[in-house]
Amino acid sequence: MNQIGISAIATSVPSKVLTNFDLEKMVDTTDEWIITRTGIRERHILNPDESITDFVINSAKEACQKANLTAEKIEFIISSTLSPNRISPAQAFEVAKGIGANQMFGFDLNAACSGFTYGIAIAESLMKTRQLKYGLVTAGEQVSRFLDYTDRASCVIFGDAAVAAVLTSENPEHLIIATEMGAFPSMADEVTIGGVSHLINDQRSDYYFRQNGKSIFKFAVNKIKEIYETFPAKVGLKPEQIKYIIPHQANMRILDAAAKDIQNNGTIFLNNLEKYGNTSSASIGLVLNDEWQRFQKGDYLLLIGFGGGLSWGATLIEW
């Protein structure tokens, strides 16, 4: 069976930066309050005339350039988004049009903040079962447009961003050696964003992002620890052989709580929360891109997504 690897990744974020000091002028909060509770100092936010799709296209073009790959060779695009610019066409087809990938199939998926790991898992399966050579997994999120900026508990958390990763079975590097997807549907209402019915009926309070912070904290911390302790065994590894963990960048309190015991094994948690905030399914890709040059051949990386659904996903990479 063909091995699949990630050959390149690229990201794109809006130029507009919304700092904690900017938020102090918008809502009852302070820089100290936000940093203490989230670890976030600033986030990138789309301007009203900007489209997240354009940022995904930019990321996809750059990722293909890094991989020395022409768009004509892209066989599929899987786009993760819970916040597309349009319901139809799918973001995947808009990206394909934008980069000139005219021989592809594609679709969008919504697994909330687990979307990037879901996308990699599905892409790996497709490439192995259909003998495909090249594909793109993207994540494009504009959660800032689904926020109530009078709610200080949620509006300080999120930023906007786009990511694109090239996957290949042709002389692959950075091998994907295990993937997993899962969910706890009984907790589906713990993270919500409304839809068309709420807009039609002008139910804005139900349309905006809402979450049960306490239950999400417990779920995320426990799931990160569980995946770290059990998932590497799928390929005969011990947890302490994992060099780096790249978790979904939800909240620094979550990451610190999860890392407390794990880092005693020498495993390093990576984060960039303070400069991007929570970018939903784009967050893991942002860290992977920022830290790309840090990794050495033979390092094991564990990507862990968790979020609305409640969903979770994991990707184990051998660099």
DSSP secondary structure string for all residues of 201-233: TT-HHHHS-EE-HHHHHHHHHHHHHHHHHHGGG
Q: Report the pLDDT value the prediction gives residue 263, as an integer from 0 to 100.
A: 78
Mean pLDDT for 61-85 is 97
pLDDT attached to residue 2:
81
Q: Which of 7-11, 97-101, 144-148, 226-230 has the lowest mean pLDDT?
A: 144-148
Q: What mean pLDDT comes out for the span 262-278?
A: 92
The per-residue pLDDT for 201 is 67
pLDDT, tens digit (0-9, with 9 covering 90-100), for 114-165: 999 999 999 999 999 999 999 999 999 999 998 889 888 888 999 999 999 9
Type of residue numbered 280: S
Active-site residue 155, yes or no? no
Catalytic residue flag (residue 44): no
Q: pLDDT of 163-191, one tens digit each?
A: 999 999 999 999 999 999 999 999 888 88
CA 35-38-42 angle, to 5 degrees, is 60
Which segments of the chain are extended strands (E)?
5-12, 17-19, 42-44, 76-80, 105-109, 134-141, 161-168, 175-183, 191-192, 210-211, 244-247, 268-269, 300-307, 311-318
Residue among 174, 248, 271, 289 flagged as catalytic: 248
Q: Which residues of 132-155 are buried (b: 16+ CB within 10 A; e: fewer)?
A: bbbbbbbbbbbbbbbbbeeebebb
Residue 248 is among the residues annotated as catalytic for this protein: yes
| pTM, entire model | 0.95
Distance of alpha carbon 2 from alpha carbon 297, whole angstroms: 20
| Pairwise pLDDT comparison (242 vs 263), residue with the higher score | 242
Identify the structural domains of the chain with CATH numbers, from first to last. 5-172 (3.40.47.10), 177-318 (3.40.47.10)
Asked whether the predicted pLDDT for residue 242 surpasses 60, the reply is: yes
Backbone angles phi and psi of 87, in degrees to 5: -70, -40
Q: Which two tokens stand for residue 136?
A: 């793109």
Query: Is residue 1 over pLDDT 60?
Result: no
